[in-house]
Amino acid sequence: MRKRLILVARYYSIEPLGILYLAGAARDLGWDCKIVLVREFDFEPVYDAIRSWQPDLVGFQIWTGYHIPAFAACDRVRAMGVPVVIGGPHATYFDKDCATHADWVVKGGGFGLFRKVLLGLLPAGMSFDINGREEAFPLPDRDTVYEAYPELGASPIKSIFGSVGCPFTCTYCYAPSFNEMHGGFKLTVRPVADIVAEAKAIMKRWPLKMVYFQDDIFGYDRRWLEEFAQKWKDEVGVPFHCQIRLELTRNDIGSKRLDLFAQAGCSGITLAIESGNAFLRDYVLFRHMPDELIVEGCRKILDRGMTLRTEQILAVPFSDVFTDLATLDLNNRINPTMAWTSILAPYAGTNMGKIASNFGFYGGNNDDLSETFFDRSILRHVEGGPLDMAAIVQGMGAGAKEHPLLGLKAVAAGGQRAEIVASETGETLGSIYYLDRESNEKYCEQTVRLQRLFNWLSRVPDAAVLGRKLTEVPTSQWSWEEIGRLTTLHLKSRAPLDRWAEELALEMGLSSPAEFPAAIAANPWYFCFLPAGGAFAKAVLEQGVFDPASGADRILGRLGTMTRRHLFDVNLYKIVEGSEAIAGRSSRALPVPSISGAEADTGT
């Protein structure tokens, strides 16, 4: 009888990539495989499948932030008499944590080791293969996933991998640890022929309007890109979206790379800006790129007719509301297709985890992290954002690329003050001041507001000025109506509001703005900055987003999510047709009047 395997991963709107390829490896070895994707930490479907299907092995893919409930599920599966193998990022970076919950733990690249488990050749315990990242990808088993989860199969967008590896050192990311455990950076590219075959196999059975390449940095290898550009266009011809670093757009060579992207059929690019504050980028995030590179790189992409999604992180160590507003301002100047924003999670084992804990910003062990990108900051923040720390590193004469923050720590000095001490010599170099509890809560709330509104705000003229006013609204007055009132005041002299209201009413099928439902009348301008704004306003109303029982936080949470999805479909991926945003039509915004000193102060 054929052996049976259940692979378990977290449900996400994107197909579980690692699992697709692992299921392909199992299929190639003659195993039958079922895939169970867990929603909202409900592992019952896993236990049900075990009871009804009696597998020989259960494999869990575990990510940090989902590890606690996943471990409990592993324990239960083993108690049901079925052996467990754990792999995925949490096994790669926290293999010891996983060891007591599994028979086998596969650290790092796992195709070869996974095959050995299936063949009964891998001893129990933790295994790591230093050459694991260079293993060829098997052809994935998409059918098993898409048949079990038809909505993933029906999606017009499918994700594929072109390469694995990244040479950069962003503090919040595991790529540097991945490189370190493998003895340095190496890019593993998949043969172009395999990728073309994978796309063709998808097209045979499933809809495919666009491919999303999930590589950390797509097209890093220029020779590979040249071959890919030709073959993809000739043999697949489906538009694709990919992720790159801004450095790859630099100089003539960068321009040529972008030309190759466009020639291959790249319809859009995602890249990270992360912060509009140079100190945070350089010293805290280890992203050594000046504003000019960011603006110029984004311009080159937009000029080639590709859509652009920027990514940013709010509430990082040494940030404050002004650095976050500077990030908004930078996006406002770039005017990307979409400005995707998250709130920092300080992962242990990354340099960011080290900075957060050494400076007393985070004392947890990541058990309190959720698995989303958008939760309220769990850090303790400092007064004055980067100012005190910038003065300290300036005093040290340390360049950003020396990463001085890694050699420093904070020692509590009473009250909100902490001394900054060189870890090696013990020398005191200056002081920082933590926010008191109330001010910290206020800043965390401000970043949540900005995160929820970022995609919209980044389109509003002088966004940082309005952003500042919105972040200053007292909690007790924070409401959708107040956002509308401040937005109206802000736009009054900057935009032809009467015309916009008429156009929005028309798009909503109403005879005049007087017929707007109350929630739309409170802030029609929100919808004027979005493509297909009228249709979107109607969808939001239909979903009950403005239910009177919902508070502002819930309204903005749901509205932010719907806005993000709407922008993905209509603007970034263009898989849904929609009219241009009202604010973008003919006479865009009216000429911007000069801003008063107080208004212009974004405190960067």
Q: Is 41 in the site for ligand B12 (CB under 6 A)?
A: no
161 binds, among ligand B12, ligand SF4, none (CB under 5 to 8 A by kind): ligand B12
- Closer to ligand B12 at the Cβ: 155 or 327? 155
Structure tokens at 545: 């987003």
467 binds, among ligand SF4, ligand B12, none (CB under 5 to 8 A by kind): none
DSSP 8-state code for residue 28: H
Q: Tell me whether residue 73 or residue 352 sits nearer to ligand SF4 (CB atom).
A: 352
Chain residue whose CB lies nearest ligand B12: 87
Residue found under tokens 């050749």: 121
Residue from 27, 33, 50, 87 that binds ligand B12 (CB under 6 A)? 87
With contacts defined by CB under 6 A, name the span among 171-179, 256-264, 563-571, 596-604 that binds ligand B12: 171-179
Q: How far is the CB of 142 from ligand B12 (least distance, A)?
A: 13
Two tokens, residue 360: 């007393």
Give the Cα separation of 594 and 113 in Å (integer).
63
Site string for ligand B12, 95-134 (x = CB under 6 A): -----------x--xxx--x--------------------
Number of residues that bind ligand B12 (CB under 6 A): 39
125 burial via Cβ count (<10 Å: 0-12, 13-18, 19+): exposed
Q: How many CB atoms lie within 10 A of CB 61?
A: 24
Neighbours of 29 (CB within 10 A): 14
**Contact between 228 and ligand B12 per CB under 6 A:** no
Amino acid at 254: G
Q: Are 58 and 36 in contact (CB under 8 A)?
A: no
| Whether 189 contacts 162, CB under 8 Å | yes
Q: At what angle do helices 67-79 and 44-53 cross, to 10 degrees?
A: 20
Q: Determine the Cα–Cα distance for residues 320 and 580; give it in Å rounded to an integer.
A: 34
343 class by beta-carbon count within 10 Å (0-12 exposed, 13-18 middle, 19+ buried): buried
Q: How far is the CB of 286 from ligand SF4 (least distance, A)?
A: 8
Q: Which residues bind ligand SF4 (CB under 6 A)?
A: 166, 168-170, 173, 175, 216, 245
CB nearer ligand SF4, residue 74 or residue 313: 313
**From ligand B12, ligand SF4, none, which one binds at residue 523 (CB under 5 to 8 Å depending on kind)?**
none
193 binds ligand B12 (CB under 6 A): no
**Euclidean distance between the first and final Cα of the chain, in Å?**
67
What CA–CA distance (Å, rounded) separates 331 from 272? 11
* Piece in contact with ligand B12 (CB under 6 A), picked from 16-24, 357-365, 408-416, 579-587: 16-24
Q: Give the residue, chosen from 161, 283, 500, 526, that forms a contact with ligand B12 under the rule CB under 6 A.
A: 161
Euclidean distance between CA atoms 537 and 516, whole angstroms: 10
The distance of closest approach from Cβ of residue 208 to ligand B12 in the complex, given in angstroms and rounded to an integer, is 17
Whether the Cβ atoms of residue 356 and residue 329 lie closer than 8 Å to each other: no
Out of 17, 316, 325, 339, the residue judged to bind ligand B12 by CB under 6 A: 17
Residues near ligand B12, by CB under 6 A: 10, 12, 14-18, 21-22, 59-61, 63-65, 85, 87-90, 92-93, 106, 109-111, 114, 161, 164, 173-175, 214, 216, 345, 347, 371-373
